[in-house]
Structure 1
């Protein structure tokens, strides 16, 4: 029985151009867990007709899964937070180089590499107890090693990506010797052994357990926006410093991602990355975690962040943060910053 010419043509077209079929699906592995991401993804599907299949998990779990799946991995895109984690994905060789005029024109050069891209930024600030520490004594990251602060510095683990990325920036700007001097000075000033997350450090500073600590800005913003009376009272006791304003600027970290080398839906993956650099997506991306857009000129209304004021950001390329991760860990290990 003869097949109608229209069916034969459709079958041939599918064979010749399988990309048409693959454009309608995107498999996303994400270590981001923010409510506004739901709207972010729904908006992409509405605009493009591409359905997003999403798997969420912790960074290490997802990277291990991708590694185990190998060339059979269904993942098209991997999203996560922090340059250290994106660098790890790069080192595993999972990302493909992406050429895109949209990404090159929208994202500042220092916030992208050949194979992964930053879509929001956050700053690592110094928080201090207003009653126990003078603001003028903690204007720079280097001040955290000042003997004046002996017994007053609290921190999360030195092996955490947030601290590794900060130390990587110190290495990039000042060299390994200065970075190790800073690490040893911070250890000498410990109020207690490193523990907890950034929110725990802020609360410890407010309680007077510590005089000073480091925190990413979105943790500060969360506390400032809190409706809990005890957290509101805590923030009345805490001051926030934008470090290194007279030198390199405050250290900036990122949230971002890239397309996998083994992505089965490459065209859809590039469209998704380009979409994340759009005005609407940038607002969703930043608002989801009290961050700033990576694209210049995007207006985001966040009273908590606005209350912290304007600041000079470090323009160190994110690839430099990635470059010094291993050395940063070695320095923390030698200094006893566990």
Structure 2
């Protein structure tokens, strides 16, 4: 019996509470990635959840709707996106002892405006044939000339790489971060292009030996018959900062300022950080739970031990504008 089946069975056997209202969620995540845990919440509480997938312009939509917005919650990925929602002034703080007890301090907003739900690590995909185990050690090492012509990555101005460079700034300062970006660019095998999956395909094709990528892409590739061959040509290496751990990013949730059904929305937020929901949600997305002690999905655990960096994500987000400026100054994508 799968974790999802166990969760639904447990929820269905619980005494359902009367549904006072539906909960409307704006999400940049594909609804099918969220639906299993949402279904379990509905089975347990009787509260229906309506998912509205908004691929682009979610902040602009919330701003335009203002107090008339039907959205109770907003779910998105990347600390940069979460901070954009904060800056837009369209969400409200949530004072919940359940959320604060479940989510480590560095994975939530200091003012309780957003809360992380899952973690993903920005790691290195390494060729099994051309890179020895343990050869990749630190992020700083990626700028070493020994990797010249051997690295692939998506554009440096993409949110995932901007978050990583923001973390480099937070650890070492702007000058060192610029030198690192220049060194990384000098080691590229080709112009930055495509997504993280495209980089693994390039390793499989022999165009490069290592690439930057998020962990969950490995799970997605293994589920695709065509891409599984690419995935099996690489292994995941967990580089660390010289004075820290492996860089992580998150998916997160926040309550809108309009929130027509705040009480029900809070119930959903608190359910999403419960042990059973955390495991199922992480399993569906091939990510790591944020709840300490929650079971890590078997496939994710097989990739190795994640020693996550403990820098507060909001501190990393403060350097995003500087990271973008540096990427442009070094002509990373040129």
Please confirm whether the aligned pair reaches a TM-score higher than 0.5, indicating the same fold. yes
Q: Secondary structure of the residue that 1:35 maps to in structure 2? A: helix
Report deviation, 1:246.
6.1
Quick one: which of 100, 104, 108 aligns to 2:96?
A: 100
Deviation by residue 1:90-127 (Cα, 9 ceiling, x = unmatched): 11111211111110111111111120000111111111
Deviation by residue 1:137-183 (Cα, 9 ceiling, x = unmatched): 42111122111111221111112111111111111111111111111
Quick one: which of 276, 282, 287 aligns to 1:280?
A: 276
Report deviation, 1:36.
4.6
Change (3 A) 1:23 1:319: farther
Report deviation, 1:233.
3.7
Q: Which has the higher helix share?
A: 1
Root-mean-square deviation over aligned CA pairs: 2.0
Change (3 A) 1:275 1:131: same
Quick one: which of 259, 265, 271 aligns to 2:267?
A: 271
Tell me how far apart the structure 2 counterparts of residues 311 and 279 of structure 1 sit (CA, whole Å): 19
Q: Structure 1: which 5+ runs fail to align?
A: 1-20
Change (3 A) 1:49 1:194: same
Contact 1:31 1:79 in 2 (8 A): yes
Q: Please say if 1:335 is aligned against 2:333.
A: no
Map 1:40-51 to 2 at 5 A.
Answer: 40-51=37-48
Q: Please say if 1:165 is aligned against 2:160.
A: no
Tell me how far apart the structure 1 counterparts of residues 269 and 306 of structure 2 sit (CA, whole Å): 28
Instruction: Indicate the residue corresponding to 2:128 in structure 1.
Output: 130
Tell me how far apart the structure 1 counterparts of residues 325 and 161 of structure 2 sit (CA, whole Å): 13
**TM-score normalised by L of structure 2:** 0.88
Q: Please say if 1:26 is aligned against 2:35.
A: no
Contact 1:27 1:52 in 2 (8 A): yes
Contact 2:134 2:237 in 1 (8 A): no
Report deviation, 1:196.
0.6
Contact 1:154 1:201 in 2 (8 A): yes
Deviation by residue 1:228-254 (Cα, 9 ceiling, x = unmatched): 2x5444334323211027641111111
Change (3 A) 1:41 1:146: same
Q: Secondary structure of the residue that 1:191 maps to in structure 2? A: coil
Map 1:277-316 to 2 at 5 A.
Answer: 277-303=273-299, 305-316=300-311
Contact 1:27 1:54 in 2 (8 A): yes
Tell me how far apart the structure 1 counterparts of residues 49 and 236 of structure 2 sit (CA, whole Å): 39
Q: Please say if 1:319 is aligned against 2:325.
A: no
Change (3 A) 1:39 1:135: closer
Tell me how far apart the structure 1 counterparts of residues 98 and 20 of structure 2 sit (CA, whole Å): 18
